[in-house]
Amino acid sequence: MKFVTLMFSAVLMFLCLSVAPLTTAQAGMIGTDEAVSTQQQSNDRAKLDAFLTQSKVQDEMRAMGVDAATARARVKALTNEEAAQIVQKMDSAPAGGNLSTTDFIIILLLIILVAILL
* pLDDT (0 to 100) of residue 97: 60
How far from chain centre, in Å, is Cα 104? 25
Q: What is the chain's pLDDT, residue by residue, as a tens digit (118 residues)?
A: 788 888 888 887 877 677 666 666 677 787 777 777 778 888 888 898 888 888 888 888 888 888 888 888 888 888 888 888 888 888 876 665 666 778 788 888 888 887 887 7
The answer to whether residue 8 sits within a structural domain is no
Using CB atoms within 10 Å of the CB of residue 86, give its burial: 0 to 12 exposed, 13 to 18 middle, 19+ buried. Answer: buried
Using CB atoms within 10 Å of the CB of residue 58, give its burial: 0 to 12 exposed, 13 to 18 middle, 19+ buried. Answer: middle
Number of compact structural domains in the chain: 1
What domain range includes position 53? Answer: 38-118
The answer to whether residue 26 sits within a structural domain is no
Q: How many angstroms separate the first and last alpha carbons of the chain?
A: 72
The answer to whether residue 68 sits within a structural domain is yes
Spatial separation of the C-alpha atoms in residues 52 and 84, rounded to whole Å: 15
* pLDDT (0 to 100) of residue 20: 62
The answer to whether residue 46 sits within a structural domain is yes
pTM across the whole model: 0.51
The answer to whether residue 23 sits within a structural domain is no
